């Protein structure tokens, strides 16, 4: 079974609004095993809407439409759909009564445009909107369903949950699709692909693997199709287990996990604490760790030391270490880690020092050279990293690698 | 002139990835006066790609395509476009040399999938990608242009700026459109609109004003249309001057300016230095300030103090201050600022302490309560802020307001 999503609104085409509705609807449909064939974003124009709906009707069994249901002149979805389904707009007494009550409660006059919001195509089933004045619409034609919803995400999401998804489940006989996301860090897409090439080749026909790469990390998605949920789930689980066994070392989590939260959870489980001493990452690791609610239980803070003085004064790095080895050196990150653990009284630390760029590189230490120290004062590891990105990327990659290296250290302890 | 955008990837249809690329491309095309007719998100399948490109070719003069250019098996855009344009894939010596140099520099072996990244359709102009290994492609057919770019936003954006937009301007005859962005912070959209209502009403017919609100900031865009570039530019400049005179106090910059870089520039000009002491912002202000290349000339560092102990030990906040007023208080941020300026030896400081949420609120100090101190140890200002966002938003808003307050302080000194 296939679906088409149509989002209506010039603001989407101008790029003033990012279309988050489609992703939301896509996720919800995927959970029901409905494959979205295509997402179409189009203008608030009658011809564009008619063409898109006709195209969707040909290709899909279910068509979800958002946008163009407001009270203003450019909101023409309702009248256009009435035309498409060859039906008339009639005033819906239930909607009208609710609108009247709403305006009465606020002592505001009802304009004609407000009264017109009670108009509904005669051929549709109106879908109640608890969060706004524009109701949704459900049309049926030759065993296919067409749903129109407002474009405000907050209203659309409630309509989906309360009205649309239950009706979709009832109206269609659905196949089963189950997904699992395996989250990896610190290994490039092509190396990962090479490592699991045989696994991928041997996947059963009803299970697909996709690579979703990001900066420094790759998300692997396994998707299983079938008819019986328990069987499909079991088939998927088997493949996930195989895959995990093979690349265990670089997997930091599954599905919605975040690396910084995974590290936090490990620390909480072990009852341990951490602080960071950041030079080149400039507080970025701290800001990642502190995005996690409740992080103050294990994260004590950071010293962002952007000068020799601050490394010496706040972190206790020795002047001779700086003089002999420079700020970007194994010796310096070691002393930074020792200093911050002692200063903030934590079990573990992460320290970074490097040349994020674009300036500051030397032949010996080109832009992108980074030293990281991680672990405890008595059991510390260090690693030299080399990145070729711009300043922003080098900072992000350093943070990601430092957290991933520390995670791997933690799980082994 | 019309364009169609095609974004390729099952992850978009499943809703695992929100399609931000389309909005980016839509914005950039709108700036050139090109209207996006339709955005199509489709599956990584040959038939879907061929159908979408054919459809786009019928309706538009320019077709921008992203996604499906990686080295793995599900990346089929390149071969599919070669088929569409009836051309062969041939190895591009320039790309191959760059790939070889890249892998050699990392002492990593080149896999077949890496070597294949140098394959390009013979009929296209390859578009150099400085940020990744998958180059873009530019095809021409009957006066229409077709562009394929990688789906990673960071790579796509660079390709757009460096290659695609200049080529589009050259290839098509475009009307004259000139824009100016006026960047404001710390004032809500409706207040700003009220303040410049008369200005807006009196704009000449060929100049339009748009509000582009973001978290805590509003970007105003003035767009002038016409036929003669010099005239259009002059008309626009006149209106910009008028607008700036009226809302000078909340303007931090223009066009591509970043608040953190503007603050840095002011400090450089005055030969002054700054450090930050962050509690609720958790290093976010530091990470913003250190995104600016060369910031070490004026930014000395940050102490991220997530515990009472660290506020006391590292920043010298008095225990009795914490006991009597709590960590989220005017008294505490004052002492944090004094502490960090003295510890890091800077002229100025910014200190934050607040409840970012979701937990930790009290009736007295609900989630979103933040105290900020900024200025010099001898001429310090403080402000209490109240936000209603989620954790992430509260952190971002605090950082933005703290930097903006400090900017306004600096320009008056």
| Helices (H), ranges, A123-275 | 153-159, 165-171, 189-195, 197-201, 229-247, 259-270
- Is B27–A16 a contact, with Cβ atoms under 8 angstroms apart? yes
Report the b/e string of A313-345 with b at 16+ CB within 10 A.
Answer: ebbebeeebbeebbbbbebbbbbbbbbbbebbe
The model's pLDDT over A70-85, given as tens digits with 9 standing for 90+, comes to 777 667 999 999 999 9
The model's pLDDT over B1-48, given as tens digits with 9 standing for 90+, comes to 999 999 999 999 989 899 999 999 999 999 898 999 999 999 999 999
Of B10, B23, B38, the CB nearest to A42: B38
Burial class of A366 by CB neighbour count within 10 A (0 to 12, 13 to 18, 19+): middle
- pLDDT of residue B73 exceeding 80, the answer is no
Provide the CATH number for the domain formed by B176-254 in this structure: 3.30.70.2860
Q: How many interchain CB pairs under 8 A, A with B?
A: 278
DSSP letter (8 states) at residue B315: T
3-state SS string for B153-213: HHHHHHHHHHHHHHHHHHHCCCCEEEEEEEEEECCCHHHHHHHCHHHHHCCCCCEEEEEEE
Between A35-39, A213-217, B1-5, the lowest mean confidence (pLDDT) is in A213-217
DSSP letter (8 states) at residue A390: -
One fold for both B176-254 and B259-412? no
Looking at domain B2-171, which CATH architecture does it have? 3-Layer(aba) Sandwich (3.40)
Query: pLDDT grade, residue B206 (50/70/90)?
Result: very high
Distances (CA, A) of B62 to A327, B57, B86, B164, B413: 50, 8, 19, 11, 51
On average, the pLDDT of chain B sits at: 94
A206-215, B52-61, B125-134 — most confident range:
B52-61
**Which homologous superfamily is B259-412 in?**
CinA-like (3.90.950.20)
Mean pLDDT for the stretch of residues B321-348: 97
Show residues of chain A in contact with B72, CB under 8 Å: 189-190, 193, 211
The model's pLDDT over B84-121, given as tens digits with 9 standing for 90+, comes to 999 999 999 999 999 999 899 888 888 888 888 899 99
- Domain boundaries along the sequence of chain B: 2-171, 176-254, 259-412
Q: What is the pLDDT of residue A51?
A: 97
Query: pLDDT grade, residue B213 (50/70/90)?
Result: confident
Mean pLDDT for the stretch of residues B58-72: 92
Mean pLDDT for the stretch of residues A100-111: 87
Among A residues 64-93, those touching chain B with beta carbons less than 8 Å apart = none
On average, the pLDDT of chain A sits at: 94
Among B residues 174-193, those touching chain A with beta carbons less than 8 Å apart = none
Structural contact between residues B27 and B165, judged by C-beta atoms closer than 8 angstroms: no
Q: What is the pLDDT of residue B106?
A: 86
Tokens 């910009």 correspond to B240
| Helices (H), ranges, A273-390 | 284-289, 308-313, 319-325, 330-344
Query: pLDDT grade, residue A21 (50/70/90)?
Result: very high
Q: With CA atoms as reference, report the closest residue to B165 among B29, B7, B26, B57.
A: B29
Mean pLDDT for the stretch of residues A394-399: 96
A317 preceded by a cis bond (ω within 30 of 0) = no
Show residues of chain B in contact with A59, CB under 8 Å: none
Q: What is the pLDDT of residue A369?
A: 97
Percent share of chain B, pLDDT over 70 = 100
Distances (CA, A) of A244 to A260, A287, A301: 20, 30, 33
- Is A18–B19 a contact, with Cβ atoms under 8 angstroms apart? yes
A384 touches chain B (CB under 8 A): no
Of A13, A24, A287, the CB nearest to B287: A287
Show residues of chain B in contact with A303, CB under 8 Å: 301-304, 314
Q: What is the pLDDT of residue B217?
A: 92
Q: What is the pLDDT of residue A210?
A: 87
Q: What is chain B's alpha carbon radius of gyration, rounded to the nearest angstrom?
A: 26
Q: What is the pLDDT of residue B383?
A: 98
Mean pLDDT for the stretch of residues A239-256: 96
- Distance CA(A8)–CA(A50), nearest Å, equals 11
The model's pLDDT over A129-158, given as tens digits with 9 standing for 90+, comes to 988 888 999 999 999 999 999 998 989 999
- Is B296–A309 a contact, with Cβ atoms under 8 angstroms apart? no
- Distance CA(B13)–CA(B15), nearest Å, equals 5
Q: What is the pLDDT of residue B95?
A: 94
- Is B296–A307 a contact, with Cβ atoms under 8 angstroms apart? yes
- Is B14–A25 a contact, with Cβ atoms under 8 angstroms apart? no
Of B212, B291, B301, the CB nearest to A391: B291
Show residues of chain A in contact with B36, CB under 8 Å: 13-15
- Is B23–A12 a contact, with Cβ atoms under 8 angstroms apart? yes
Show residues of chain A in contact with B317, CB under 8 Å: none
pTM for this one? 0.80
The model's pLDDT over B381-391, given as tens digits with 9 standing for 90+, comes to 999 999 988 89
The model's pLDDT over A357-382, given as tens digits with 9 standing for 90+, comes to 999 999 999 999 999 999 999 999 99
- Is A22–B37 a contact, with Cβ atoms under 8 angstroms apart? no
Tokens 């209203």 correspond to A155
Show residues of chain A in contact with B291, CB under 8 Å: 282, 391-392, 395
B295 touches chain A (CB under 8 A): yes
For B289, the closest chain A residue by CA position comes to A282
A307 touches chain B (CB under 8 A): yes
B13 touches chain A (CB under 8 A): yes
Structural contact between residues B44 and B73, judged by C-beta atoms closer than 8 angstroms: no
Query: pLDDT grade, residue A109 (50/70/90)?
Result: confident
Show residues of chain A in contact with B19, CB under 8 Å: 18-19, 22-23, 39
């Amino acid at each position: 079974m296939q679906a088409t999503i149509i989002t209506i609104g010039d603001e989407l085409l101008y790029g003033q609004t990012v279309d988050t509705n489609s992703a939301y609807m896509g996720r919800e449909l995927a959970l029901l095993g409905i494959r979205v064939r295509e997402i179409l974003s189009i203008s608030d124009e009658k011809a564009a809407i008619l063409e898109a709906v006709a195209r969707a009707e040909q290709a899909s069994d279910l068509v979800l439409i958002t946008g163009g249901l407001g009270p203003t002149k450019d909101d023409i979805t309702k009248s256009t759909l009435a035309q498409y389904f060859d039906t008339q707009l009639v005033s819906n007494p239930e909607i009208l009564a609710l609108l009247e009550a709403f305006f009465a409660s606020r002592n505001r006059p009802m304009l004609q445009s407000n009264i017109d919001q009670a108009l509904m195509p005669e051929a549709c089933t109106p879908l109640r909107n608890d969060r706004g004045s524009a109701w949704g619409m459900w049309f049926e034609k030759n065993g296919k369903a067409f749903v129109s919803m407002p474009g405000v995400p907050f209203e659309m999401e409630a309509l989906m949950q309360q009205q649309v998804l239950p009706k979709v489940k009832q109206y269609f006989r659905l196949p089963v699709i189950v997904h699992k996301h395996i989250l990896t860090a610190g290994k490039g897409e092509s190396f990962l692909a090479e490592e699991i090439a045989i696994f991928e080749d041997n996947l059963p026909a009803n299970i697909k693997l996709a690579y979703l790469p990001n900066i420094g990390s790759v998300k692997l998605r396994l998707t299983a199709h079938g008819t019986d949920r328990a069987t499909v789930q079991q088939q998927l689980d088997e493949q996930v287990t195989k895959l995990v066994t093979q690349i265990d070392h670089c997997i930091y989590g599954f599905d919605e996990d975040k690396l910084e939260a995974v590290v936090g959870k490990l620390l909480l489980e072990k009852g341990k604490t951490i602080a960071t001493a950041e030079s080149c990452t400039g507080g970025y690791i701290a800001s990642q760790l502190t995005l996690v609610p409740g992080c103050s239980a294990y994260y004590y803070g950071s010293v962002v030391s952007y000068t020799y003085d601050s490394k010496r004064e706040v972190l206790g790095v020795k002047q001779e270490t700086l003089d002999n080895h420079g700020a970007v050196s194994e010796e310096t990150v070691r002393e930074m880690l020792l200093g911050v653990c002692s200063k903030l009284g934590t079990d573990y630390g992460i320290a970074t020092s490097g040349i994020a760029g674009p300036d500051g590189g030397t032949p010996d230490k080109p832009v992108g050279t980074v030293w990281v120290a991680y672990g405890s004062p008595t059991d510390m590891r260090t690693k030299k990293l080399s990145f070729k990105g711009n300043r922003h990327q080098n900072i992000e990659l350093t943070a990601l690698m430092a957290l991933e290296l520390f995670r791997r250290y933690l799980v082994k302890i």
